[in-house]
Structure 1
Amino acid sequence: MMKEKISVIVPVYNVEAYLERCVESILKQTYTNFELLLINDGSTDQSGDLCDQLASKNENIKVFHIKNAGVSNARNVGIQHSRGEWITFIDSDDFITPDYLETLISVVDSDDSIGFSIARLHHIKNGQITELPVFSGKKEKWSTEETMRELLITTRTSFFPVAKLFKREIISGFIFNTDYHLAEDALFLTEVLLKTKCTSVFIDKPIYYYDHRQGSATTSVNNHVFDTIEVYKIIISEVFQRFPKLRTELVNRECWSYITVYDKIIFTDSSQYRTEKVKLRKWIINHLSEILKDPYFTHFRKIAVLSLLVSPWIYRQIVGLN
């Protein structure tokens, strides 16, 4: 498999403090047949210059400077310019283990039904590196439905495109939807699975450091935060038509989408999103029974949701403890 080239696509936007850490981790890969595409999405800091500096030192790096249009557009540009038989996505404020590429490509065999391989994430906070936990390292092949279920419950994998290696011919006909700014990557994965009916291979090993950084796109709060709910409405509708047996997982995702948006806006200033806070609290309370019966929500989460019956202030205090 060392013969097959991998395209590593990294969207870049105002990450001058983290970009070198990301790129260095990619350049240290044990699997060396790869190209690294840095897509500078109109950065207003020194990220663009840093991309050029890094490229001048390594012939594997290609840089594309584009007008700011969001991470989805940057990923699409990366796909268009990639030349590898396989494609992987890495966020520029995250980083990977030296065997990231080797691990992902080693579990792919000659089975043409396999669309992508998947490994575990290791979650860290604000760059504080913690030791990688030990997992079995075992390989599992998942059917289309099994893959969809695992993506929905996010226990062993994530609904992000990272820590995955995609066969180029599988995703070449798809694009990340630029109409949305959150959860559009989950929609991309859903459409790839449902339309190609591909299978996947999972390896039980953490190889990707996912940095939960304050101020990043997934933690920032703006009007795009409500995209999460709208995108999951699409995902739930499409998946239920194909896999009705996944109803429990889909109900969980629906409830999760409302809860995660509520969790973000409840910590904003009291004058912000007043109407939305009331509407989301009402929706969550109206679905309390489903949430309490849900096998995927933790006891902590269920207690927090119960407190909403009494007071949003109490809910905020409980959620803030986690």
Structure 2
Amino acid sequence: MEPIISIIVPVYKVEKYIHECIDSILNQTLKNIEVILIDDGSPDECPRICDEYAHKDSRVIVIHQKNQGLSSARNSGIKVANGKYLAFVDSDDVISPLMFETLISNGKNADIIECNVTQNKGKLQINKDSFYVKEYKENILTEYLKSNKVGVWCRIYKRELIQNIEFEVGAFSEDVMWSYRAFEQSKSYLVINAILYYWRQCSDSLSKSSIKHFKSQSERLAKIISKEHPELYPIINNHLIIIKINLLTNAVRYGFANEDIKKEFYDKQKKEALYVVRHNLVHILANSFFRWQTKLKAMAICLSYSLYSTIIRKTYEE
């Protein structure tokens, strides 16, 4: 029987979290699923752990490959997926046991079905009082960009919609262009107001690593939108502001892949990013598009980037 959903999980240096992640997927109330674990050359015990799960549960498929990064790992998963829908889960994250059953049972067979995300595992729940479903069959790309949910992991996608869309290998913010292509082709997009995905922020997984270049997919997307959908440019410009805030944060938190990248940051990228944040501070504070965490970061950066850097270091050293 064809699985309803194939869940693609890239795995790299998450030995501490991988059991909790995979268990949360296998314990879904929706049982007809396929779990594809892509070991992206992880140097720890993750390859063995993945094989153990495949041995215990026939729904688990394991792919071992040389380390090529998050995009390559996801592409490998897409190629072998058999489900009607595809989902992506980062291997240090956790999902609600009701996630996929909720998305399917309320999804009205939409091309893309989305839930809410939390960074507080205690809030991983369905609140019946605030539960609602909203469907879009027009202005889908606009609604996606307005949602400010760039990550691919809070949704399920029809396989026929995305099976020929590849993540760009080696790209910074690889989710951006991939999501744009998916939503541009989508004929129906449904949002479920339920918190079903816990996004854990840790420093060693595939999606969180040292800065290797400054080729932002958001900047590339902004150029495309300015030509193809100029009416949407103000929205994508908000995403560009967030990219600059994230760059100033990640430079401190994760560091740089080499000295040349570090030099370019301090010679050019830092100045440009600081200018964008300072120039747009009032806009950031006044616009509901930006989350309160982003507003706090922007205020701290404008007050003193040196002090902000110290706070970030102290926070993630603990």
Q: Given the alignment of the two structures, is residue 235 of structure 1 paired with residue 235 of structure 2, yes or no?
A: no
Instruction: For 2:102 and 2:11, locate their aligned partners in 1 and report how far apart those are by CA, in whole Å.
Output: 24
Aligned pair partner of 1:183 in 173, 189, 199 = 173
Q: Tell me which residue corresponds to 2:113.
A: 117
Q: Tell me which residue corresponds to 1:43.
A: 42
Report how far residue 315 of structure 1 moved. Answer: 4.9
Aligned pair partner of 1:209 in 178, 198, 204 = 198
TM-score, normalisation: structure 2:
0.84
Give RMSD over aligned pairs.
Answer: 3.0
Q: Tell me which residue corresponds to 1:132.
A: 124
Cα gap change, 1:12 to 1:218, in 2 (>3 Å): closer
Q: Could you tell me which runs of 5 or more consecutive residues in structure 2 were left unpaired when the two chains were aligned.
A: none
Cα gap change, 1:93 to 1:48, in 2 (>3 Å): same
Question: Which digits, 9 at most, give the CA deviation of each residue in 1:242-267, with x for residues without a partner?
Answer: 44333332221121111221122256
Question: Are the equivalent residues in 2 in contact too, given 1:36–1:60 (CA < 8 A)?
Answer: yes
Deviates more, 1:210-219 or 1:163-172: 210-219
Equivalent residue letter for 1:284? V
Q: Tell me which residue corresponds to 1:296.
A: 289
Q: Tell me which residue corresponds to 2:14.
A: 15
Question: Are the equivalent residues in 1 in contact too, given 2:124–2:197 (CA < 8 A)?
Answer: no
Aligned pairs, how many?
A: 306
Q: How does 1:155-174 map to 2 (within 5 A)?
A: 158-174=149-165
Deviates more, 1:302-311 or 1:140-149: 302-311
Q: Could you tell me which runs of 5 or more consecutive residues in structure 1 were left unpaired when the two chains were aligned.
A: none
Question: Are the equivalent residues in 1 in contact too, given 2:252–2:312 (CA < 8 A)?
Answer: no
Question: Which digits, 9 at most, give the CA deviation of each residue in 1:97-148, with x for residues without a partner?
Answer: 11111111112325xxx32100111213xxxx32336362211102453454
Equivalent residue letter for 1:130? G
Cα gap change, 1:78 to 1:144, in 2 (>3 Å): farther
Question: Are the equivalent residues in 1 in contact too, given 2:69–2:170 (CA < 8 A)?
Answer: no
Instruction: For 2:279 and 2:4, locate their aligned partners in 1 and report how far apart those are by CA, in whole Å.
Output: 51
Report how far residue 201 of structure 1 moved. Answer: 0.7
Q: Given the alignment of the two structures, is residue 313 of structure 1 paired with residue 312 of structure 2, yes or no?
A: no
Aligned pair partner of 1:200 in 180, 189, 195 = 189
SS in 2 for 1:106: helix
Cα gap change, 1:250 to 1:319, in 2 (>3 Å): farther
Report how far residue 317 of structure 1 moved. Answer: 6.3
Equivalent residue letter for 2:134? E
SS in 1 for 2:86: strand
SS in 2 for 1:259: helix
SS in 2 for 1:212: coil
Cα gap change, 1:137 to 1:320, in 2 (>3 Å): farther
